[in-house]
């Protein structure tokens, strides 16, 4: 690591979605791009963290690459990608970074102290375990793994390593959800009595690995895992049982409906699909009001009273309020607001690697979400409700 002089950092707005590029080979010579541009950093005496980006597919090109280049106190040392064209495209945007083709090549670079993994889902567990075994800090995009056994192997490697292990639940850092979490805990809607949510993405051409569950495709692993983490976290609760149905409309297991019971007895209903219109909405219903969280619409968060007056004045006021919000809602419908929580999540990971902060979500959070998703799959196969052990899926 090397010492930086102080300069003011900056955040970048980035797109909310993307896909990783399949496959990373294990051999290629180094490539180096041109000289680096201006850096942003920490006060004098705080060391800069060298990071490697593993996987330069769609999600990395649209999100992680720009974010890593803009973080304070971080130097993007190298990118690893088996596809020559994708690697060259990444290097063109990352002056000074090395380009390699595989995981082992990346881990052989001494200056790489932490690794951000953006590979297809079926490569997460093996790659994450390798990173930790090589004594590097790990930021692993979700899901943690595809099976419970794979998940256990990552957790065991993490516990043994003593390194920072973060999972890509960046939405925990979105102000919409952090605000809702604080307000619900403060009693803004009274006692929570129910939750309903929908997380969907429009049907589009999928890379081969996303078309099949065996390689990590499907709505449960791709989308439902976020809400399975986010909702219990917002409510300070844990999932105790799951009932689910799964359908294959366009691709393998692309649509699912889940009902969770939380430890408090609250029921959560979630619909998720990678073959429907874009939507990311959570409604938390209390006994004295409700809060609606909609990441793709404006306003993104609304607190609503528990009682609706039938008076003409109240109805007129509601109508005028809806009319006033219509332009913003239409604008959000056409183009969802950029998702900036990646910046916070990756910055806190980098800071945690120095002992300056803690991750937005760690690998244990990833395991809890995975256990919920695996229980949902078991429920869909068996047609029965699946109970989770206490403390496993919080």
Instruction: Tell me what pLDDT residue 392 has.
Output: 59
214: in domain: yes
- Number of structural domains (the chain) is 2
For residue 86, the domain's CATH number is 3.40.50.720
- Angle at CA of residue 236, ends 234 and 240, nearest 5°: 105
SS3 content of the chain, % helix, strand, coil (to 5): 40, 20, 40
253 backbone φψ class: left, alpha, beta (φ>0; ψ -120 to 50): left
**Does an H or E element contain 371, and which?**
helix 363-382
Output DSSP code: residue 80: E
Query: Nearest-CA neighbor of 138 among 335, 306, 364?
Result: 364
Q: Is residue 234 part of a domain?
A: yes
Same-domain status, 99 and 247: no
Q: Is there a single domain that holds both residue 193 and residue 283?
A: yes
Tell whether 67 and 97 lie within a shared domain.
yes
Residues 197 and 293 in one domain: yes
Q: How confident is the model over 78-87, as pLDDT tens digits?
A: 999 999 999 9
Residues 292 and 329 in one domain: yes
137 shares a domain with 271: no
Which residues, other chains included, contact 339 with Cβ-Cβ below 8 Å and sequence gap of 6+?
14, 15, 16, 17, 170, 171, 174, 295
Transcribe 109-170 into DSSP letters.
-TT--EEEE---GGGHHHHHHHHHHTT-EEEEPSPS-SSHHHHHHHHHHHHHH-S-EEE--G
pLDDT given for residue 205 in this prediction: 87
Query: Do residues 309 and 213 lie in contact, with contact meaning Cβ atoms separated by under 8 Å?
Result: no
Tell me how far apart the alpha carbons of residues 295 and 282 are, in angstroms, rounded to a whole number: 9
Say yes or no: 379 and 282 in one domain: yes
3-state secondary structure of 313: helix
Q: What is the pLDDT of residue 33?
A: 38
Q: Where are the beta strands (DSSP E) in the chain?
A: 31-32, 49-54, 74-80, 98-100, 114-117, 137-140, 165-167, 192-200, 239-247, 255-262, 267-273, 279-286, 289-294, 301-305, 386-387
Residue 301 lies in a domain: yes
Place of tokens 């950093």: 41
Domain assignment present for 20? no
52: domain range? 31-171+342-360
Q: What are the pLDDT digits (tens) for 314-345?
A: 444 444 454 445 454 444 444 455 688 999 99
pLDDT averaged per 10 residues in sequence order, the chain, 394 residues: 28 32 32 35 67 95 95 97 96 94 97 98 98 98 97 98 98 96 97 98 89 94 96 97 96 96 98 96 98 91 74 46 48 56 97 93 97 98 94 51
Whole-number pLDDT of residue 144: 98
Does 218 lie in the same domain as 133?
no
**Torsion of the alpha carbons at 368, 369, 372 and 374, rounded to the nearest 10:** -100
pLDDT digits (tens, 9 = 90+) for 250-280: 999 999 999 999 999 999 999 999 999 999 9
Answer whether residue 160 is part of any domain: yes
Q: Using CA atoms, how far apart are residues 48 and 66, in angstroms rounded to an integer?
A: 18
CA distance 111 to 246: 45
CA angle 258–262–267, rounded 5-degree value: 55
- Kind of pairing between the strands at 98-100 and 31-32: antiparallel
Q: Are residues 138 and 192 in the same domain?
A: no
Distance from the Cα of residue 113 to its chain's centroid: 22
Residue 296 gets the label, from left (phi > 0), alpha (psi -120 to 50) or beta, of alpha
In angstroms, the CA 350 to CA 265 distance is 37
Whether 349 contacts 163, CB under 8 Å: no
Q: What's the number of CA atoms in the CB half-sphere (13 Å) around residue 359? A: 22
CA gap 138, 135 in Å, rounded = 9
Looking at the structure, do residues 130 and 230 belong to the same domain, yes or no?
A: no
pLDDT for position 364: 97
CA distance 237 to 331: 34
356 and 244 within one domain: no
Whether 143 and 63 share a structural domain: yes
Beta bridge partners of 74: 49
Q: What is the pLDDT of residue 338?
A: 60
> CB of 345 within 8 A of CB of 147?
no
| Assigned domain for 290 exists | yes
In a domain, 22, yes or no: no
In a domain, 188, yes or no: yes
């Amino acid at each position: 690591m090397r010492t930086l002089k102080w300069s003011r950092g900056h955040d970048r707005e980035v797109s909310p979605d993307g896909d990783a590029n399949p496959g990373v080979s294990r051999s290629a010579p180094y490539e180096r791009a041109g000289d680096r541009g201006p850096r942003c950093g920490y006060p004098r005496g705080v060391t800069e963290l060298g990071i490697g980006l593993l996987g330069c597919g769609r999600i990395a090109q649209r999100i992680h690459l720009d974010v890593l280049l803009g973080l304070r106190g971080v130097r993007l040392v190298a990118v690893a990608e088996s596809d020559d064209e994708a690697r060259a495209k990444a290097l063109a945007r990352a002056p000074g970074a090395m380009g390699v083709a595989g995981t082992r090549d990346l881990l052989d670079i001494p200056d790489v102290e932490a690794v951000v993994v953006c590979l297809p889902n079926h490569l997460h567990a093996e790659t994450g375990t390798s990173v930790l075994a090589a004594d590097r800090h790990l930021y692993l995009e979700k899901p943690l793994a595809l099976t419970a056994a794979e998940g256990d192997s990552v957790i065991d490697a993490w516990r043994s390593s003593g390194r920072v292990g973060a999972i890509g639940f960046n939405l925990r850092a979105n102000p919409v959800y952090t605000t809702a979490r604080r307000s619900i805990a403060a009693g803004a809607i009274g006692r929570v009595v129910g939750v309903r949510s929908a997380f969907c993405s429009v049907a589009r051409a999928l890379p081969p690995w996303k078309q099949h569950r065996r390689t990590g495709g499907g709505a449960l692993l791709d989308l439902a895992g976020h809400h399975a983490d986010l909702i219990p976290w917002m409510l300070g609760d844990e999932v105790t049982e799951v009932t689910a149905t799964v359908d294959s409309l366009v691709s393998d297991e692309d649509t699912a409906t889940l009902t969770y019971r939380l430890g408090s007895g609250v029921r959560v209903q979630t619909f998720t699909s990678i073959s429907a219109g874009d939507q990311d909405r959570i409604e938390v219903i209390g006994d004295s009001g409700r809060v609606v969280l909609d990441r793709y619409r404006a306003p993104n968060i609304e607190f609503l009273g528990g009682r609706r007056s039938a008076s003409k004045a109240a109805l007129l006021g509601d109508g005028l309020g809806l009319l006033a919000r219509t332009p913003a809602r239409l604008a959000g419908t056409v183009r969802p607001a950029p998702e900036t929580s990646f910046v916070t999540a990756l910055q806190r990971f980098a800071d945690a690697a120095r002992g300056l902060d803690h991750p937005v979500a760690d690998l244990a959070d990833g395991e809890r979400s995975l256990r919920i998703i695996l229980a949902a799959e078991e429920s869909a196969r068996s047609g029965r409700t699946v109970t989770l052990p206490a403390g496993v899926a919080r």
